[in-house]
Amino acid sequence: MVSGEGVMMHLEDGRSLIDGISSWWAVIHGYNHPALNAALLTQANKFAHVMLGGMTHNPALDLAATLVRITPEGLNHVFFSDSGSIGVEVALKMSIQYWKNIGYNGKSKIISLKNGYHGDTFKAMEVSDDSDFTRAFSDVLRRGYILDIPEGGFDADAAVVKQATDKLEALLQREHQNIAAFIVEPIVQCAGGFNIYSPLYLKTARELCTKYNVLFVFDEVATGFGRTGKLFAAEHAGVTPDIMILGKALTAGYMGHAATLATSAVFDSFLGDNYEKALMHGPTFMANPLACAVALQSISIIEEEQYLQKIDKIQSIIREQFDSFTSPAIVAKRSIGAIGAIEMKDAACLSGFKEFSQQHGVWLRPIGNVLYLMPPYIISEKELLTILQVMKDWIQQIK
Ligand SMILES: *Cc1c(COP(=O)(O)O)cnc(C)c1O
């Protein structure tokens, strides 16, 4: 790639591709966005970086206040770090230390979900499902507990969801004294195959976590900033987690950065006059001013330009087109917000797809046996239809 503009990626060899996956789900406003470029340059002309220890600055304070304003009620404190994986590490450290700080001992295990993905650092791997990413380290990972998501998708029957929450309750009843937190990707598990599940599960799980003294952690690194049709996936369930992680689209793909938000109850447990109770995690680039400035600009574009309506439109186009995809090789079609995924019967069905899509002017990369799109929100109807046509043409020719 040598340059970009809107959803287009211009390559050295003269080809141009429509980005169908927002560069790993981050580039929500497309490439080379004038207002984002300007925000970055304005900040760069003041100062590009300063340590956050013993010093602070307006981009950090404004971004923290903005994140508190737009995220679910009750998440009142923000810890900045460099990437989604580190944001998850911070969330898990907070969870484990929180119980120590308030006088509970032995609450250190984490519950996570099958097919979950939370990043590539060690503790993030421990709460992610086994995959090509974790395999080489399986003998050193200290696994916690792993549960299944409820079947039936977003609109699952309450009785079906109850089977899954009953399993959660049984585990909590038996082991809560050892458990610090339950971490989930709310509503959609992305890297694990775009599995969508019912908000009812999150509602009941919220109640159970409170009842059994376990922190509920939402990893919204992929789902945050509108991807599922709500600004945050937590809104589908109307619940507030104790801790929430944001990354990827936070800076619209301009800079690596993440935010771990927490409730006042969690935050207060770390206050004290010495380092004993403090959260001793201090990334060099925490709240980097360039990252904060561009994130603030991104959020104001989302709010001012009615992005949720754009995402709604993307959802209806994806659903309408998916209806016309027919092939015996399709196992399931799943979509929500600006996410569409077609699960194929095996990964072999998709071998050669990357080359095929590039020949037809589209940048898509299947994950295993799942062909998916997660376009930038600024995509035009015509560009979106081009991506969907390429997916359809490939699928229809599978024998
Ligand atoms: C991508 C992702 C991460 C890791 O973020 P990085 O910035 O790649 O470290 C964590 N959780 C979820 C849900 C993700 O999709």
pLDDT digits (tens, 9 = 90+) for 345-384: 999 999 999 999 999 999 999 999 999 999 999 999 999 9
Compute the average pLDDT of residues 111-118: 97
Confidence tier at 399 by pLDDT (50, 70, 90): confident
What are the pLDDT digits (tens) for 259-315? 999 999 999 999 998 899 999 999 999 999 999 999 999 999 999 999 999 999 999
Q: What are the binding residues for pyridoxal 5'-phosphate? A: 84-85, 219, 283-284
**Is there a single domain that holds both residue 228 and residue 374?**
no
**Is there a single domain that holds both residue 277 and residue 345?**
no
Confidence tier at 9 by pLDDT (50, 70, 90): very high
What are the pLDDT digits (tens) for 168-182? 999 999 999 999 999
* Residue nearest ligand 1's atom 11 by CA: 118
Q: What are the binding residues for substrate? A: 24, 117, 248, 282, 365
**Is there a single domain that holds both residue 128 and residue 176?**
yes
**Is there a single domain that holds both residue 319 and residue 195?**
no
C-alpha 109/C-alpha 91 separation (Å) is 13
pLDDT value of position 363: 98
**Which three-class secondary structure state does DSSP give residue 2?**
coil
Nearest atom of ligand 1 to the alpha carbon of 84: 5
Compute the average pLDDT of residues 130-158: 94
**Is there a single domain that holds both residue 154 and residue 195?**
yes
pLDDT value of position 274: 85
Q: Of 244, 272, 303, at which residue does a domain stop?
A: 303
Which CATH number covers residue 378? 3.90.1150.10
Nearest atom of ligand 1 to the alpha carbon of 121: 9
Question: What's the longest Cα–Cα distance across the chain?
Answer: 68
The dihedrals phi and psi of 280, each to the nearest 5 degrees, come to: -90, 75
Q: Of 272, 303, 334, at which residue does a domain stop?
A: 303
**Is there a single domain that holds both residue 296 and residue 313?**
no
pLDDT value of position 268: 98
What is the model's pTM? 0.98
Confidence tier at 28 by pLDDT (50, 70, 90): very high
**Is there a single domain that holds both residue 67 and residue 196?**
yes
Q: Which domain holds residue 11?
A: 3-32+306-397
Evaluate whether 339 touches 374 at the Cβ level (below 8 Å).
yes
pLDDT value of position 48: 98
pLDDT value of position 315: 98
Average per-residue pLDDT for the chain: 97
Confidence tier at 118 by pLDDT (50, 70, 90): very high
Instruction: List all residues 6 or more positions away from 126 whose beta carbon is below 8 Å from its beta carbon.
Output: 110, 141, 142, 143, 144
Nearest atom of ligand 1 to the alpha carbon of 116: 13
Q: What are the binding residues? A: 24, 84-85, 117, 219, 248, 282-284, 365
**Is there a single domain that holds both residue 311 and residue 299?**
no
Q: How is residue 161 written in tokens? A: 């969801």
Which CATH number covers residue 75? 3.40.640.10
What residues are in contact with ligand 1 under a 6 Å CB criterion?
Answer: 83-85, 88, 117-119, 185, 190-191, 219, 221-222, 247-248
Q: How is residue 52 written in tokens? A: 């956050």
Confidence tier at 328 by pLDDT (50, 70, 90): very high
What are the pLDDT digits (tens) for 82-105? 999 999 999 999 999 999 999 999
